[in-house]
Structure 1
Amino acid sequence: MSETEADLRERVEQWMVGQMPIIQMHGGTSVVREADPESGQVVVELGGTCSGCGISNITAQNIKADLIRDFPEIERVEVKVPSTGDTGSDTVEGGRGGDLQYSTENPGHF
């Protein structure tokens, strides 16, 4: 039986809650935008105080490396951080937010 996107997304979200509590502790949020078990692609978006944070690029690199290490089916991770201040208002357990929107003005921005 193959894993569905919803299953992988939930597992990654639970991982974020357990492995990256510092995001929420510092007022940030995270949401898994994509989790494709067939392609191995995962997209995580950070928001809240992560936007404009001087160490968000380090956080993004840690998330990328750790997800690939901890999930054999994950081959590629993209972490997006909004460059605008608009991060939505819905935040749930573990700092995951539901309405984050990243800016496409600078696609290389973390």
Structure 2
Amino acid sequence: MSAESLERETRSYLSNNVPQIQEHGGFFEIQDIDEETGEVTVAIGGACSGCGIAPMTMNAIKHRLPDELEEISKVNVIRAGGPRAAVMPTKTEDMEEMEEYEDYSPPF
């Protein structure tokens, strides 16, 4: 599958299956696709940067996307920076380390 097709399918999956990102003022962007290995890097930002459930959203994307799209072998989810980033990333970074969120599976 070409990088363009993989990007289109990834974007479609995220738009249809994780609409909370955009509904809550966040955004996602496909930052990198390695069509040979099937590795995809997705950045989330905007309101996601300071959101308390961002770590759970990131974890869900990381684990569910390869299950849904067989061409994807690995997903890296990172926080987007730049002028659209919100201002409270340290709280969510701390939350990513908390055991309570290790196995949490959000309802999307």
Q: TM-score w.r.t. structure 1 length?
A: 0.72
Query: Does 2:19 correspond to 1:21?
Result: yes
The match for 1:9 is 7
Structure 1 unaligned regions, length at least 5: 89-105
Residue 47 (structure 1) aligned with residue 18 (structure 2): no
Give SS of 2:44's match. strand
1:32 matched to 2:19? The reply is no
Amino acid at match of 1:11: E
1:74 to partner: Cα distance: 1.1
Between Structure 1 and Structure 2, which shows a larger proportion of helix residues? 2
For residue 85 of structure 1, report the CA deviation from its aligned partner: 6.5
Equivalent residues in 2 for 1:81-96, closer than 5 Å: 81-82=79-80, 86-87=83-84
- Aligned mates of 2:67, 2:77 — CA distance in 1: 16
| Identity across the alignment (%) | 33
Figure out how many residues of one structure are paired with residues of the other and give that number: 88
User: How far apart, CA to CA, are the structure 2 residues paired with 1:4 and 1:21?
Assistant: 25
Indicate conservation of the 8 Å contact 1:51/1:85, yes or no: no
Partner of 2:100: none
In 1: Cα distance, 2:39 partner to 2:82 partner: 26
* 1:58 alignment partner in structure 2: 56
CA distance in 2, matches of 1:49, 1:34: 22
**Preserved CA contact (<8 Å) 1:40 1:73:** yes
- CA shift digits 1:31-86 (9 cap, x unpaired): 1111222111000010110012111110000001110110112111111114x572
Per the normalisation by structure 2, the TM-score is: 0.73
The two structures, once aligned, show a CA RMSD in angstroms of 2.0
One-letter amino acid of the counterpart of residue 48, structure 1: G
